[in-house]
């Protein structure tokens, strides 16, 4: 639960080796959240996919935005694929 008054960056786990691992975010404060990724990681959000690697991000746009991601591809190290399982609000996909 993000309660900060400024934008917070959360980085996906570097070892997403367990298919089905889920993580969630809820924007409760005035700040936003940017979800960053590591080398080889990507997030599928609806019909969009983030840029592969460290330059790809997913960013909330308003208080009340919420997101649940689930690991869909087992990978060792920093590679891995995450899928939006559920979301509320408009998220910016880069």
Q: pLDDT tens across 58-92, in order? A: 999 998 999 999 988 876 555 678 999 999 999 99
Question: What is the pTM (predicted TM-score) of this model?
Answer: 0.86
Tell me the average pLDDT across 2-28: 86
Contact present, 2 and 27 (Cβ < 8 Å): yes
Q: Tokens 């990681």 map to which residue?
A: 41
- Asked if residue 18 has pLDDT above 90, the reply is no
Residue range 19-43, pLDDT digits in tens? 888 999 999 988 899 999 988 889 9
Whole-angstrom distance, CA of residue 79 vs CA of residue 59: 20
Contact indicator for 27, 65 with CB cutoff of 8 Å:
yes
């Amino acid at each position: 639960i993000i309660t900060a008054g400024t934008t917070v960056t959360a980085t996906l786990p570097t070892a997403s080796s367990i298919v089905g691992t889920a993580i969630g975010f809820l924007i409760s404060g005035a700040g936003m959240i940017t979800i960053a990724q590591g080398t080889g990681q990507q997030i599928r959000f609806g019909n969009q996919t983030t840029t592969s690697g460290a330059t790809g991000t997913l960013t909330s746009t308003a208080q009340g935005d919420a997101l649940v991601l689930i690991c869909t591809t087992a990978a060792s190290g920093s590679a891995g694929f995450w899928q939006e399982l559920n979301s509320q609000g408009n998220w910016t996909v880069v």
